[in-house]
Structure 1
Amino acid sequence: MTVAAQAVPATTTRGAGVTPRRRSVVWVGLLPFAAYVLLFLAIPAVLAVGSGFFDNAGHFTFANLAAFADPSILQEFFASIWISLLTAVVGAVVGAVICFALLGTRPDGFLRTTIDSASSVLAQFGGVMLAFAFIATIGVNGFITQWLISLGWIDNPLTNFGNDGPLIYQVAGLTVVYMYFQIPLMVLTFMPAMEGLKTTWAEASATLGGTRYTYWTRIGMPILAPAFFGSLILLFANSFSSYATAAALISRPVIIPTAIKQQLTSETVVGVANVAGVLALGMVVVMIVLMSAYAALQRRASRWQR
């Protein structure tokens, strides 16, 4: 008994000394990622936003915020918001319908796995590649455009579609192009919530005399609402921050990301300095509000996914 009693404290002491070391090793492993976030995300964001509070002489000022009163900047903000809102709503509705249809398929079946894989790829297929795909298909010299000309349905793309050319070269055309990655992103983010619906809930509703309509309106939809609106906010933020696709399709500044690019090359707001930093500040404020709402909705939705 004496030997056993002496052995226990020794084992406990060694075990207590191992845990802090293991935790320290885990934190050391996170240092490369923390350095990446600091150098390539945090510092550039602070410098970009902070530049909007300094004039050309380097003095701190709030006068640059007067750029938000410029009609052209307000129009670009409005264009960014309505394009993001439209593509988010349409993408969320269409993506939710696709997710609902996939519930009737096998999780490991060919159709489900194919759509999941395609959504993972297409959700990241943006920028110049996506713009080139649409230009080569329905651009001025695109395949479909030239095919319509050969059929005699249109004579000249510039005259038939206006001075800006086909729809993809116009502001409204961005909504069509953005749908290419908005819908797959909705499928990726909303499908786990749909899969979280338990069959026992439907069975309990049917046992109590509930119809299918009653189940979806009183059980299914209320449970899915936080996840749906969270995905909707994510789609809005994704569209609001998109730059490369719009820059490749439309040369003039039509949304805030392209307006920031123009302000970095030439100041157009007379009497206001560092307009790019001011616009970046506006985008950061919008994104903070969106991501805060998204985090709150995700916490609420996670209660039903456990």
Structure 2
Amino acid sequence: MRRSTGWLGALPLLAFYAFVFGIPLAALLAGAFTSRGEPTLANLRQSLEGGNLTAMAGSVQVSAVVALTGAVLGSFLAYAVVTSRFTALRNGVLTASGVLANFGGVPLAFFWVATLGNSGVVSGLLGLPSGSLYSFWGLVIVYLYFSVPLMVLVMAPALDGLRPQWREAAANNGATAWHYWRHVGLPVLTPALLGGVVLLFGSAFAAYATAAAMGAGTVVPLVTLKIANALTSDVLIGQENVALALSLDMIVIAGLVMLIYLPLQRRTTRWLQ
């Protein structure tokens, strides 16, 4: 009886999710598959053609580079923090990571523009080329500012789960440090690593405010900026439904990302119990 009625406790939360996410999703689907009140697939076809496809590819490319680079840097930083003997350093880094992982949008863009922009403080002192921030790699660096701390938060619990007894057992059997990481450490951490890469990809893929405030759309085509222009621009008329189709494309990609991430996260939890 408890098993059959236990889900009733979650009913208010499910109803809230249905209201907050279900209604916008229904409106998005209705707009993506209609044009002037008539059912059509033209919006979806247009969302995967020309500049729209270029913007989608640009977002995927930026997100992939950010995810891979952030995963490497964040993993090494997390390992340095976890193995540190200074508790204050560990707590400070983890606390800062929790703050910086959620620091984005216009404030982050202003921070980088004031630092490395055309008239930035650091760029002026170092004599960096004008506009070096407004490029593909400039946008990647900005995104890494919140991606690396996010990877630290993902990897620190996984690294804490590596039991010292495993390393001692490997050493007692004559294994070197390379053999330990090759056959024990990395296989255990692989689900967390891949899950972190997927999480960073999704975070960078959905980012909008930072790139918009930096004016990155003129250099790097991004699908989020494309959607905003189609919805708010006075030049692009009648593109609202195409923007909804682009949003649907993003939801499909995000759904695929979550389908990869959730099983990996469950496997990591099982390994580290």
**What TM-score results when the alignment is normalised by the length of structure 1?**
0.81
| Amino acid paired to 1:42 | G
Q: Which residue of 2 aligns with 1:203?
A: 168
Whether the aligned pair in 1 keeps the contact of 2:63 and 2:201 (CA below 8 Å) is yes
Q: Which residue of 2 aligns with 1:62?
A: 41
Q: Which residue of 1 aligns with 2:56?
A: 77
**TM-superposed deviation, 1:73:** 1.1
Question: 1:210 aligns to what SS in structure 2?
Answer: coil
**TM-superposed deviation, 1:273:** 6.6
Does residue 167 (structure 1) correspond to residue 126 (structure 2)? The answer is no
Q: Which residue of 1 aligns with 2:32?
A: 52
**TM-superposed deviation, 1:270:** 9.4
Does residue 290 (structure 1) correspond to residue 269 (structure 2)? The answer is no
| Amino acid paired to 1:52 | A
Number of matched residues? 270
Q: Which residue of 2 aligns with 1:223?
A: 188
**TM-superposed deviation, 1:172:** 3.3
Separation in 2, partners of 1:115, 1:175:
22
| Higher Rg of the two aligned structures | 1
Whether the aligned pair in 2 keeps the contact of 1:103 and 1:194 (CA below 8 Å) is yes
Question: 2:69 aligns to what SS in structure 1?
Answer: helix
| Cα root mean square deviation, aligned | 2.5
Separation in 2, partners of 1:298, 1:206:
29
137-146 or 184-193: which moved more?
137-146
1:123/1:69 Cα in 2 relative to 1: closer, same or farther (>3 Å)? closer
Does residue 304 (structure 1) correspond to residue 266 (structure 2)? The answer is no
Does residue 145 (structure 1) correspond to residue 118 (structure 2)? The answer is no
User: How many percent of aligned residue pairs carry the same amino acid?
Assistant: 37
Q: How does 1:90-239 map to 2 (within 5 A)?
A: 90-106=69-85, 109-148=87-126, 153=127, 160-161=129-130, 166-239=131-204
1:291/1:23 Cα in 2 relative to 1: closer, same or farther (>3 Å)? closer
Q: 1:248 aligns with which of 213, 218, 233?
A: 213
Separation in 2, partners of 1:244, 1:270:
23
Does residue 27 (structure 1) correspond to residue 9 (structure 2)? The answer is yes
Separation in 2, partners of 1:36, 1:250:
36
Whether the aligned pair in 1 keeps the contact of 2:230 and 2:239 (CA below 8 Å) is no
Separation in 2, partners of 1:41, 1:271:
25
Separation in 2, partners of 1:94, 1:145:
24
**What TM-score results when the alignment is normalised by the length of structure 2?**
0.90
Question: 1:168 aligns to what SS in structure 2?
Answer: coil
**TM-superposed deviation, 1:248:** 0.5
| Amino acid paired to 1:61 | T
Deviations 1:183-240 (A, max 9, x none): 0000001111111111111111111111111110001001111110011100000000
**TM-superposed deviation, 1:64:** 1.7
